[in-house]
Amino acid sequence: MITNKISDQTIKMLNKLTSEQKAKVDQVVRTHVRACLRNGSPLESFDRLLIEAVEVVKLEERAPETKYEFVPGVEPFRHYEQYTSPREL
């Protein structure tokens, strides 16, 4: 169970977020807590977890993950050069 208090500075940081950002932070926190419970890891600092979750959300907004189209059944063309030793030349 988490018994750490959240600092005033963290609360102010959370209040500055939009509702969409808050939802994303909530999802990051829930995923982390679920993973800790599943693996039996202790939750160190909830305050630090919230700060890192906000940082992750802001980073993902600045540089979103690139999504590539995947077409099943199509293999990329691969060409492998054969090694030729200098003596053979």
pLDDT per residue as tens, the chain (89 positions): 444 578 899 999 999 999 999 999 999 999 999 999 999 988 888 899 999 999 999 998 888 777 777 777 777 777 777 777 777 76
**pTM of whole model > 0.85?**
no
Residue 13 lies in a domain: no
CB 14 within 8 A of CB 53: no
Residue 2 lies in a domain: no
Q: Could you give the CA distance from residue 55 to residue 62 in angstroms, rounded to a whole number?
A: 11
Q: Could you give the CA distance from residue 60 to residue 3 in angstroms, rounded to a whole number?
A: 29
Residue 82 lies in a domain: no
* Total of domains in the chain: 1
Residue 9 lies in a domain: no
Residue 77 lies in a domain: no
Residue 40 lies in a domain: yes
Residue 10 lies in a domain: no
Q: Could you give the CA distance from residue 74 to residue 17 in angstroms, rounded to a whole number?
A: 43
Q: Which domain holds residue 26?
A: 18-62
